[in-house]
Chain A
Amino acid sequence: MADDLRLRELMREYQSGRFEAFDEIYASIAPPLRRYLLSQARDGAKADDLAQETFLQMHRARHTYDSSYPLMPWAMAIARHVWLMDRRTLSRRPWAPDDVTAMALPVKGEAESFAERAEVRRALGQVNPARRQAVIQHHLLGFSFKEIAERAGIAETAAKLRSSRGMAQLRALLKGQGGK
């Protein structure tokens, strides 16, 4: 890691228009930032995402850095903020899969009768998002319709409708794939 004075100089250059200074700043502080984020998140992929977000936020807040102070406490404070914001966002957001095709789905029940789980995942990815969420939450994760309705802020009957229509769409998609 470059020494503190060098980092201050690099950050001053980055503020004043030398974009290339970013590479050296990144090389110097990305490892300790990632270590810190890993110690908080305990997940390598998550730590990488948070580190990237930290650099993005550092970029947006670069005008707040005062080069008469060390760079690391400033960067660490932003990393900590990014981590806390992420944790807060997750705690407030109802559970929803980002990418169903990448999920290790505990496929059971009706879906088990299909030979290829990959096909189910692919088909599920094509189902209307609101219906897909209802299908996953009810048939795969075991939530009741009442719980699903509460999470989505809809009526229980609407949750049932979404799930049944989602299943119908999924069946049709799988039938179509099977027929090919």
Chain B
Amino acid sequence: MTTAPAELRARLAADYRPVRALPSPWARALWILPFALVALVAAPVAFTVRPGAASLGWIGVWGFSIAQTLLGVLVVGAALRESIPGRDWSRTAIGLWIALPLLAVVALTLYSWETSPVTLLRGFWMVGGLCFAGSAATALPVVALASILAARAYPTRPAVAGAMLGLGAGLMADAGWRIFCHFSEPAHVLSAHLAAVIMSTIIGAIAVRAYRKNTLSMNQ
């Protein structure tokens, strides 16, 4: 029988204590839900609902935003699953987890434009900057919380897990901002709102990577 080297056994025994196994990634993703709901209602409650709401209807405004929020939670769940050794996604699956939600945002943008076209006549960069900054800032608390959840597991590809959860957080934040934003012009939505989702994805990748690196160096 193969026996463990005494030195290894002693090192493990030195900091051994019982631990509780992590709940499933999908269950942990639900911890994000309260933050997701705050992100969903923050902008419309603090400011107003978009003027084209009547032509878009309840489904077009709130229904699709709720669906986008749930999609964000799902992507965060996938990111948390990616953080568990041996349960990581294939490259194709990761590509789909990232590409499909982004395509969904593009499709929703085009649908909103078709149904209720509102053009941004003046201040393209200023309004775009506000929407970009607001959306990215709304995503930050969710990115921070989800980063901690991911890094406390054992992500073997922290940048991938971080990018996925940043994307999830970005989707949740954008779901709220699209209810408030007055303009449906694709150039504005894609350059400000979608860019904020992509920015959140990048921040997530950097955050989890840095957090993980820090944790590893503290363990060494």
Taking Cβ atoms with an 8 Å cutoff, the residues of A that contact B are 12, 15-17, 19, 22-23, 26-27, 30-31, 52, 55-57, 59-67, 69, 73-78, 80-81
Number of A-B contacts (CB under 8 A): 84
Could you tell me the distance in whole angstroms from the C-beta of A157 to the nearest C-beta in chain B? 33
**Subset of 19 A-B contacts with CB under 8 Å:** A17-B18, A22-B4, A26-B4, A30-B4, A31-B2, A52-B5, A55-B4, A56-B8, A59-B16, A64-B22, A64-B84, A66-B21, A66-B24, A69-B87, A74-B84, A74-B85, A75-B85, A77-B85, A78-B154
Q: A81 and B16 in contact (CB under 8 A), knowing A52-B8, A56-B11?
A: no
Cα distance, A76 to B83, chains bound together (Å)? 15
Interface status of B190 (Cβ within 8 A of chain A): no
Given contacts A64-B84, A73-B87, A76-B86, 7 further A-B pairs with CB under 8 A are A12-B21, A22-B4, A52-B8, A63-B22, A66-B24, A77-B88, A77-B156
Cα distance, A80 to B1, chains bound together (Å)? 24
Could you tell me the distance in whole angstroms from the C-beta of B212 to the nearest C-beta in chain A? 11
Cα distance, A22 to B156, chains bound together (Å)? 23
Cβ of A15 and Cβ of B21 under 8 Å apart? Answer: yes
Cβ of B86 and Cβ of A69 under 8 Å apart? Answer: yes
Cβ of B21 and Cβ of A23 under 8 Å apart? Answer: no
- Which of B9, B11, B86, B219 makes the CB contact (< 8 A) with A73? B86
Within 8 A of A (CB), among B158-215: none
| Chain B residues with CB below 8 A from A55, complex form | 4, 8, 12
Q: Please name the residue on chain A nearest to B19 by beta carbon.
A: A63
Q: Considering only CB atoms and an 8 Å cut-off, how many residues of chain B contact the other chain?
A: 28
- Which of A27, A63, A66, A69 makes the CB contact (< 8 A) with B2? A27
Within 8 A of A (CB), among B1-51: 1-5, 8-9, 11-13, 16-22, 24
Taking Cβ atoms with an 8 Å cutoff, the residues of B that contact A are 1-5, 8-9, 11-13, 16-22, 24, 83-88, 153-154, 156, 219
Cβ of A23 and Cβ of B12 under 8 Å apart? Answer: no
| Chain B residues with CB below 8 A from A19, complex form | 12-13, 16
Cβ of B19 and Cβ of A77 under 8 Å apart? Answer: no
Cα distance, A64 to B154, chains bound together (Å)? 7
Cα distance, A31 to B2, chains bound together (Å)? 8
Could you tell me the distance in whole angstroms from the C-beta of B165 to the nearest C-beta in chain A? 16
Most chain-B CB neighbours within 10 Å: which of A15, A23, A26, A76?
Answer: A26
| Chain B residues with CB below 8 A from A27, complex form | 1-4
Cβ of B87 and Cβ of A23 under 8 Å apart? Answer: no
| Chain B residues with CB below 8 A from A80, complex form | 156
